[in-house]
Structure 1
């Protein structure tokens, strides 16, 4: 069996190392990487959109991590008005560290509330 891991760095490399150490031949190839933006272009517009949104959807723990990092560095707080959704239970559990309100994640074709 050969496995191609497409998870972003550095988690992708870590998974490949674990698999290779178990004797499962695997390679890492990521289509994208997450990095904090250094650009200040239109960030004020993005912050406005964040605080005026009805729904915020997170696709990964990294997106939660970098959003929280940006908010902390700029002395901002997570908006409390929007409904939060995540793709996957792991991302939901990670988001729950920062958002202390109910939000939703998809699990087996069903949307579940997390309190």
Structure 2
């Protein structure tokens, strides 16, 4: 039996390499990739909603990375008056690099909450 890794590159490829190194056969087949938006429906048209939000859910480090690029390019900062929730401990730590808020971790459910 082989493990099918659907995580986007380069993280998915890294995971497959690590699994193969320890003797667990694995394939990399990403279901999606992340790129900066070039569509007419982009963050620039949604920025007011971002700042009016009470809660922001974050699911990936890539979404944090590309949102942060947009904010820097437009001389904006992450909203400070919202509660951030990150799915996964590593995503929460990555988000913490940008918003500098204290996080609380639920040990059993792996959902991360920021105050």
Is 1:85 aligned to 2:85, yes or no?
yes
1:24-63 equivalent positions in 2, closer than 5 A: 24-41=24-41, 43-63=43-63
State the secondary structure of the residue aligned to 2:90.
helix
Which residue number in structure 2 is paired with residue 75 of structure 1? 75
SS at match of 2:99: coil
- Number of positions where the alignment pairs a residue of Structure 1 with one of Structure 2: 115
Aligned to 1:11: 11
3-state SS of paired residue (1:96): helix
Shift of the 39–105 alpha-carbon distance from structure 1 to 2, 3 Å rule, reads farther
Compute the TM-score of the two structures, normalised by the length of structure 2: 0.84
Counterpart Cα distance in 1 of 2:41 and 2:9: 25
Q: Structure 2: 5+ residue runs without aligned partners?
A: none
Using a 3 Å threshold, how does the CA distance of structure 1 residues 62 and 42 change in structure 2: closer, same or farther? closer
Kindly report the root-mean-square deviation, in angstroms, between the aligned alpha carbons of the 2 structures: 2.3
Measured after TM superposition, the shift of residue 102 of structure 1 is 3.3
Q: TM-score, normalised by structure 1?
A: 0.84
